[in-house]
């Protein structure tokens, strides 16, 4: 459980940190998988739904992300590692996190009638904000994620 006492530096238990890390990993992998599969927001919004989220903002972000992923030719994305670099529990109980991810990817694009394929590794730094409700971390906002993958 997370309890917030104003003015006090609050830390998550190791169990809660692990649960948060697993939640972020799941969100990232699902976002890429769903975008690669060109799924509509209505089919994936359960990843984001909770009372404190403006789904219209997340829908716009997801649709833009998906469009870029599809046009970039990303064919596969596999999250290899996630490291929570820092987190902060705010007075309202929300949790801001900064995470570094490492991943493998495959991208394929056709340019001037020639197909280019690249399998590579990469890393990214992202920010996520959660609320903790009903013994679960629920996403309320996130920064944009890596959407361009080179084929060179």
Nearest alpha-carbon partner for 151 in 119, 125, 126, 104: 119
User: Are 50 and 125 within 8 A, CB to CB?
Assistant: no
Contact at 8 Å (CB) between 76 and 36?
Answer: yes
- What percentage of the chain reaches a pLDDT higher than 90? 53
Question: How confident is the prediction for the chain on average, in pLDDT?
Answer: 86
pLDDT per position as a tens digit, 37-87: 999 999 998 877 666 677 887 888 889 999 999 988 999 999 999 999 999
CB count within 10 Å of CB 98 equals 15
Q: Could you tell me which of 138, 145, 152 has the C-alpha nearest to residue 36?
A: 145
Q: What is the 3-state composition of the chain as percent helix, strand, coil, each rounded to the nearest 5?
A: 30, 40, 30
CB neighbour burial string for 102-141, b if at least 16 within 10 angstroms, e if fewer: ebebbbbbeeeeeeeeeeeeeeeebebbbbbeeeebbbbb
The three-point CA angle 47-82-11 to 5° equals 85
Measure the CA–CA gap between 66 and 120, rounded to whole angstroms. 20
Judge whether residue 115 has pLDDT over 80.
yes
pTM of the predicted model, to two decimals?
A: 0.86
Say if strands 136-142 and 74-89 run parallel, antiparallel, or are unpaired.
unpaired
Confidence at residue 106, expressed as pLDDT on a 0 to 100 scale: 97
């Amino acid at each position: 459980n997370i309890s917030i006492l104003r003015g006090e530096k609050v830390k998550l238990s190791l169990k809660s940190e692990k649960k948060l890390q697993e939640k972020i990993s799941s969100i990232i992998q699902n976002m890429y998988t769903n975008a690669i599969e060109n799924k509509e927001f209505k089919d994936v919004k359960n990843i984001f739904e909770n009372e404190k989220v403006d789904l219209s903002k997340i829908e716009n972000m997801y649709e833009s992300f998906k469009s870029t992923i599809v046009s970039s030719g990303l064919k596969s994305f596999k999250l290899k590692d996630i490291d929570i670099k820092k987190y902060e529990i705010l007075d309202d109980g929300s949790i801001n996190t900064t995470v570094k991810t490492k991943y493998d990817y495959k991208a394929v694009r056709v340019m001037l009638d020639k197909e280019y394929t690249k399998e590579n590794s990469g890393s990214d730094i992202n920010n996520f904000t959660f609320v903790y409700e009903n013994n679960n971390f629920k996403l309320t906002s996130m920064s944009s994620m890596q959407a361009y993958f080179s084929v060179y």
